[in-house]
Chain A
């Protein structure tokens, strides 16, 4: 009897915990979303309300007619896509070499790559900024190039361990058939690595999409090249007297939805990629 009761209490406590966690994780989004639906006068009214009195899309409409914001969306898409593509191409070459080939200097190369995955961006900021100023490189190519500092080592590292896991017999079979190293890479290994490429590509894309330090620093002068994080951090309304939080929240919702969709579709892959290396199975 008492045992059954204690298990019932345990069950209730468990579900309280589950709901509590869910609310904790999701509430800020709920708040951003309902704030975006509020009118300016309701936003500054105190106390704050849990649901808008008269939901309106006016904030969303002004966000979508804000040229600076739309431009930032385009910039971010270009930058993040280019960084991802470049890292995958360059990274899969290096990953193939490090994972499947024998050569002198392999171990040191692996150590360098691993060390680079932990390298703090701030340590190169001043140097990169000076290089870019001297070369007169425009902000977008600068961002694309410099983001490789965090996407490339990670991509190489993950792809190396992936290539290493592929059976050697496949390669040997291809070589027996007369394929060169590059042909066996392109025709045999690359199709097999598609899942790993998707995972690392997604993680690289999200990292590049989120990046703020370099983006802020490199676009100080050139406002047109700002990416989404910088645009949101420095958001000002069309006519701004005070910080237009209704529009900021609308912009926050707009940039979050595609990312969340992406994450939900590929969640298995992302979890696998994030936890790779952290757990020795």
Chain B
């Protein structure tokens, strides 16, 4: 459209110039409020976040703020991998416990200068044992957790969303009611759904899940979904999938509705099976919608905050909940800003990569 406008002959353009100038002035006038607001609440604060990420700014501190260069980033992102030595007793023999080799604690191998490193996690490889250490083990862990959370949650949301969308795309009595029901989890306040799930996942049989699971013979009725480290992320994923699958399903349903029905009829006449029709018609034609939905959901999950902050509080963080904790809990304005910039860059890179690979921009 912009091209077409520039295509006008110079004479015609000059002839309209008074009107055009008036139009231009009106347009700018109409845009001013939006841009003033965006400058005030987005561009200026973002600029100041970038600036303070290079300083040691703190709230309620007597210390003067000074420029510290990349110090905050170094503290947030320094990661190291060290091998853990086998634990030996006084005689030099390897210590074993129940037949398992014991290793030294990470405290002895991780560096303490210039910053003290803490363990993020340990892993075994080729018969050796390693520890991953970081200065901000909580932040590095938060990045890792958020990425794992995003990948698994979005995967489940896509599959479930597709199942729901395909179900609802066929004609059956009560279809309208189902579509309305789908909007309900989407509209519910995230804080409310977090509390409802928190209640269903109580660590006693007063909670729904422990009751049902104990009837099924799984667990002893006191599974601590939020306290046990290996159940924390799955619990968060279950909560997020419930809340956001309907959104995914709605988008996919809209995408399905624009696929022409004749294609299916033709395929059916040709004797293509249902599964074949899905893979040769539905999936390829749905892929642009699927791509957009994936981008929306992934970008959204990478900045997850509510459910982590409400349910896990300071036990375990997502990237965003850690940045907020640094700001409010620790009053570390500088560090929190640096964490925010890291999150921003991660999301930005992710968005660009995603859009490139899926080719949405071609539309």
**Nearest chain A CB to B45's CB is how many angstroms away?**
3
Segment 109-166 of A: residues with Cβ below 8 Å from B: 109, 112-113, 116, 118-131, 133, 145-146, 148-149, 152-153, 156
Residues of A near B24 (CB, < 8 A) are 101-104
Given A104-B24, A220-B328, A278-B292, check contact A116 B189 (CB 8 Å): no
Roughly how many angstroms separate A192 CA and B187 CA in the complex, as a whole number? 27
Interface residues on B, range: 35 or more
Beyond the given A181-B22, A256-B192, A263-B180, please list 4 additional residue pairs across the A-B interface where CB-CB is below 8 A. Answer: A93-B31, A127-B45, A131-B44, A210-B190
Given A103-B23, A124-B45, A131-B44, check contact A248 B199 (CB 8 Å): yes
- Report B's interface with A, CB cutoff 8 A: 2, 5, 20, 22-24, 26-28, 30-31, 33-34, 37-38, 40-42, 44-49, 52, 59, 163-164, 167, 170, 172, 174, 178-197, 199-200, 202, 204-208, 211, 214-215, 221, 242, 246-247, 250-251, 254-255, 258, 288-289, 292-293, 296, 299, 302-303, 305-306, 309-310, 319-320, 323-324, 327-328, 333, 336-337, 340-341, 343-344, 347, 351, 363
20 chain-A/chain-B pairs, Cβ below 8 angstroms: A14-B170, A25-B182, A28-B196, A43-B206, A93-B30, A94-B31, A97-B27, A120-B299, A122-B324, A124-B41, A126-B336, A131-B44, A152-B38, A212-B305, A232-B192, A262-B187, A263-B180, A264-B180, A274-B247, A279-B288
Residues of A near B363 (CB, < 8 A) are 280
Residues of A near B196 (CB, < 8 A) are 28-29, 31-32, 249, 252
Given A127-B45, A280-B363, check contact A274 B258 (CB 8 Å): no
Interface contact A213-B305, CB-CB below 8 Å: yes
Question: B interface, by DSSP: helix, strand, loop or mixed?
Answer: helix
A228 in the interface (beta carbon within 8 A): yes
Interface contact A127-B47, CB-CB below 8 Å: yes
**Nearest chain A CB to B117's CB is how many angstroms away?**
25
Q: Give how many A residues have a beta carbon under 8 Å from the other chain's beta carbons.
A: 95
Among A25, A256, A260, A274, the most chain B Cβ lie within 10 Å of the Cβ of: A25
Segment 246-281 of A: residues with Cβ below 8 Å from B: 248-249, 252, 255-256, 259-260, 262-264, 267, 270-271, 274-275, 277-281
Interface contact A210-B189, CB-CB below 8 Å: yes
In order of increasing CB-CB distance, the 8 nearest A-B pairs are: A127-B45, A46-B205, A229-B191, A275-B254, A97-B30, A124-B45, A127-B48, A97-B27
Residues of A near B299 (CB, < 8 A) are 118, 120
Segment 188-234 of A: residues with Cβ below 8 Å from B: 206, 209-210, 212-213, 216-217, 220, 228-230, 232-233
Roughly how many angstroms separate A116 CA and B38 CA in the complex, as a whole number? 9
Interface contact A130-B250, CB-CB below 8 Å: no
Among the listed B179, B205, B206, B341, which residue makes an inter-chain contact with A271, where contact means beta carbons less than 8 Å apart? B179
Residues of B near A178 (CB, < 8 A) are none
Residues of A near B38 (CB, < 8 A) are 112, 116, 148-149, 152-153
**Nearest chain B CB to A13's CB is how many angstroms away?**
11
Given A46-B206, A91-B34, check contact A126 B343 (CB 8 Å): no
Given A152-B34, A233-B194, A249-B199, check contact A256 B340 (CB 8 Å): no
Interface contact B34-A259, CB-CB below 8 Å: no
Among the listed A31, A46, A120, A216, which residue makes an inter-chain contact with B204, where contact means beta carbons less than 8 Å apart? A46
Interface contact B167-A17, CB-CB below 8 Å: yes
Report how many A-B pairs have Cβ atoms within 8 Å. 289
Given A47-B214, A212-B306, A279-B251, check contact A102 B23 (CB 8 Å): yes
Residues of A near B188 (CB, < 8 A) are 256, 259-260
**Nearest chain A CB to B320's CB is how many angstroms away?**
4
Interface contact A45-B206, CB-CB below 8 Å: yes
Interface contact A90-B189, CB-CB below 8 Å: no
Among A24, A43, A96, A127, the most chain B Cβ lie within 10 Å of the Cβ of: A127
Residues of A near B258 (CB, < 8 A) are 279-281
Interface contact B49-A14, CB-CB below 8 Å: no
Among A125, A131, A263, the most chain B Cβ lie within 10 Å of the Cβ of: A125
Interface contact A263-B184, CB-CB below 8 Å: yes
Q: Nearest A residue to B329 by beta-carbon distance?
A: A220
Among the listed A25, A47, A94, which residue makes an inter-chain contact with B181, where contact means beta carbons less than 8 Å apart? A25
Residues of B near A17 (CB, < 8 A) are 163, 167
Q: Nearest B residue to A182 by beta-carbon distance?
A: B26
Interface contact B305-A47, CB-CB below 8 Å: no
Residues of A near B199 (CB, < 8 A) are 31-32, 35, 245, 248-249
Roughly how many angstroms separate A97 CA and B205 CA in the complex, as a whole number? 59
**Nearest chain B CB to A68's CB is how many angstroms away?**
15
A21 in the interface (beta carbon within 8 A): yes
**Nearest chain A CB to B202's CB is how many angstroms away?**
8
A9 in the interface (beta carbon within 8 A): no
Given A25-B185, A35-B199, A145-B40, check contact A212 B191 (CB 8 Å): yes
Q: Nearest B residue to A147 by beta-carbon distance?
A: B41
Interface contact B42-A118, CB-CB below 8 Å: no
Interface contact A18-B189, CB-CB below 8 Å: no
A26 in the interface (beta carbon within 8 A): yes
Residues of A near B20 (CB, < 8 A) are 102
Residues of A near B343 (CB, < 8 A) are 120, 122-123
